[in-house]
Amino acid sequence: MPILNLSIDELLTTTRTVRKRLDLTRPVEPEVIRECLEIALQAPTASNSQSWHFVVVTDPQQREALATLYRKGADQYKALMTPVFEKRAASSEQEAEAIARVTNSGQYLIDHLHEVPVHVIPCIWGRTDHMPAVAQAGLWGSIMPAAWSFMLAARSRGLGTSLTSFHLFFEQEAAQVLGIPYEKVTQAALIPVAYTRGTDFKPGPRKPLESVLHWDRW
Ligand SMILES: Cc1cc2nc3c(=O)[nH]c(=O)nc-3n(C[C@H](O)[C@H](O)[C@H](O)COP(=O)(O)O)c2cc1C
């Protein structure tokens, strides 16, 4: 697969959450997904357990079923988070604009997820329910780096992705749809994947480093 001419730092700073610029009409070759997953397998895992699995969903009916759960999950998320967002939006014009942008883009994905040609669900053996923080860190920390590596590898091949979680409000139902053994395996995310319209992306707005950096002490 052709690789975009991006420096390592450009790749790391321009791998954005892509929603509206996903090309929903262009097919994604299975080989490019395999290539990105091969790269993801080089991510670290606790004790090198490699207890990950990746469910790649291209079947239209399966994607439709996941998109339905995602939509229902988005409704729950909105019900939970609207008061928080309203408060944040009231704090400054800049914050209000940022929230409006994400909400608008998020709604696009809610409306079109079933049309995104590939959904990738990174999974990990075990469940964190009622586990101490150290076990939770070990579990999530053994799948999210791989998910991010997959997203970086996808970006460098002209694909857009986003890390999403709304369907996890209905994780058990999604497990049923996909045949995942829910009692033993955690789904970490749902990553929609498609080629992007254009490949030029810019770094996102972020808080200044000085506001979050603690050196030697908090
Ligand atoms: C843990 C996590 C869960 C997320 N869940 C969703 C989601 O369910 N739906 C969605 O559209 N975006 C989701 N996002 C994407 C964030 O909204 C996105 O990272 C943020 O808007 C920053 O975008 P940027 O990196 O392009 O600047 C999630 C991101 C993370 C890290």
- Decide: 148 in ligand 1 pocket, CB within 6 A: no
If you average pLDDT over residues 73-102, what whole number do you get?
93
The answer to whether residue 194 scores a pLDDT higher than 80 is: yes
- pTM of the full predicted structure? 0.97
CB 114 within 8 A of CB 7: no
Query: Within 10 A of 68 (CB to CB), how many other CB atoms are there?
Result: 17
Distance from C-alpha of 200 to C-alpha of 156, rounded to nearest angstrom: 11
Can you give the pLDDT at residue 149?
Answer: 98
If you average pLDDT over residues 201-210, what whole number do you get?
96
Residue with the smallest CA separation from ligand 1 atom 5 is: 164
- Decide: 17 in ligand 1 pocket, CB within 6 A: yes
The answer to whether residue 55 scores a pLDDT higher than 80 is: yes
- Decide: 102 in ligand 1 pocket, CB within 6 A: yes
Can you give the pLDDT at residue 1?
Answer: 72
Q: Which ligand 1 atom sits closest to the C-alpha of 102?
A: 21
216 alpha carbon – ligand 1 mean position (Å): 30
CA separation, residue 182 to residues 71, 123, 127, 171, 177 (Å): 20, 10, 9, 8, 11
If you average pLDDT over residues 104-125, what whole number do you get?
98
Q: 21-48 pLDDT, tens per residue?
A: 999 999 999 999 999 999 999 999 999 9
Query: Within 10 A of 24 (CB to CB), how many other CB atoms are there?
Result: 13
17 alpha carbon – ligand 1 mean position (Å): 6
Average pLDDT, the chain: 97
| Tokens 């097919």, located at residue | 27
Mutate to test the pocket of ligand 1, among 15, 113, 120, 163 (most ligand atoms within 8 A of CB): 163
Q: 118-169 pLDDT, tens per residue?
A: 999 999 999 998 899 999 999 999 999 999 999 999 999 999 999 999 999 9
Distance from C-alpha of 90 to C-alpha of 99, rounded to nearest angstrom: 10
Could you give the 3-state DSSP secondary structure of residue 77?
Answer: helix
Can you give the pLDDT at residue 129?
Answer: 85
- Decide: 106 in ligand 1 pocket, CB within 6 A: yes
If you average pLDDT over residues 196-209, what whole number do you get?
96
Q: At what angle do helices 60-91 and 171-178 cross, to 10 degrees?
A: 160
The answer to whether residue 49 scores a pLDDT higher than 90 is: yes
CB 32 within 8 A of CB 1: yes
- Determine the Cα angle at 113 with ends 35 and 177, to 5°: 80
Q: Which ligand 1 atom sits closest to the C-alpha of 206?
A: 27
Residue with the smallest CA separation from ligand 1 atom 30 is: 163
pLDDT band at 97 (very low <50, low <70, confident <90, very high): very high
Q: For the chain, what percent of residues have pLDDT higher than 70?
A: 100
DSSP 17-40: B-STTB-TTS---HHHHHHHHHHH
Can you give the pLDDT at residue 37?
Answer: 98
CA separation, residue 179 to residues 37, 99, 176, 184, 185 (Å): 20, 36, 5, 12, 11
Q: 173-185 pLDDT, tens per residue?
A: 999 999 999 999 9
